[in-house]
Structure 1
């Protein structure tokens, strides 16, 4: 139908042009208007050769990394706090309020030894790190956080953040108590709750539960 130099001896018919594999591929995205079809027929181009370097499929590991990236909370959460106490819920201690009572009793006995820490969210985890060495001392998955509460003027501490986390081994619940002087327990509570809610919603949309 064309000469060796790739020129058309006669313009191709519309049916011949529409049957071209190259046009069918472009039509899978958007069909040209009648005006553009007419223009292309008046000035035909030689067929486009296939890409000699087709893009390889995305490896499964890369897709997995992308999915995990979608689950990472986008807000920045990193704060200087003082860890006061970690209490495991038992028969006589069943709530964060009971843990504050335990803190008050220990404080009266002079048995509270606070530790300055960095409380931050890294990826999908809540991390407690040493202020100076940056060593990670405790790590909790965001999915293990069951709730947060703030107590003002509790015992000798004016702004206490309580975070309830689910333990895996042995199964149970622990409450972490922090003194938050810089921004206040209410501010940290609100920020952390938003991050946990965001993570749970994205996890649910990704995995359906």
Structure 2
């Protein structure tokens, strides 16, 4: 058997990747990584937008002077306002894509808020603590803000879980 004959048993061995038994060359780890990176940066992934119908309940600034220094404090304040029926809801759409979380007016589709994803510091569901059975809580802080905001939204339980994860 010639030298070249022994090499043909392993297609791709010359370029450092081992061949598969079905004759299809195995992709190197680096090639696989690059392919996955290219896919995740492609328009297919980046253009996916999730949209949820929500009711904005309240926004609080996390501030000692307001007695809100934690998420738990903000939830307590929302529960307190809700028990006194001092919550006025606003219907809106919450959109999440690969770069930002946007709040849009239900009727006009006008953008009300736009949070770059890195500014969303925390998301959490609050279930069955209010007259609203499922609440999405978002803590957002832009780089130019000294104190974060805590936003509360009411939405369907299935959607609130999906939005908090997404």
TM-score after normalising by structure 2: 0.66
Change (3 A) 1:75 1:109: same
CA distance in 2, matches of 1:86, 1:70: 35
> Is 2:76 aligned against 1:96?
no
Per the alignment, in what secondary structure is the counterpart of residue 158 of structure 2? Answer: coil
Q: CA RMSD in A?
A: 2.4
2:23 maps to which residue?
Answer: none
Report Cα offsets for 1:83-108 as digits up to 9, x if no partner: 10111101121222211111111112
Change (3 A) 1:108 1:122: same
Per the alignment, in what secondary structure is the counterpart of residue 73 of structure 2? Answer: helix
Q: In the alignment, which of 92, 95, 112 is matched to residue 87 of structure 2? A: 112
> Is 2:142 aligned against 1:167?
yes
CA distance in 1, matches of 2:48, 2:123: 18
Q: In the alignment, which of 107, 112, 128 is matched to residue 137 of structure 1? A: 112
- Structure 1's consecutive aligned runs of 4 or more residues displaced over 6 angstroms after TM superposition are none
Change (3 A) 1:87 1:73: farther
* Aligned 1:1-209 pairs, distance under 5 A: 73=46, 75-91=48-64, 92-122=67-97, 124-181=99-156, 183-191=158-166
Aligned residues: 125
Q: Which runs of 5 or more residues in structure 2 are unaligned?
A: 1-40
TM-score after normalising by structure 1: 0.54
Report Cα offsets for 1:178-205 as digits up to 9, x if no partner: 11126342222112xxxxxxxxxxxxxx
CA distance in 2, matches of 1:184, 1:78: 9
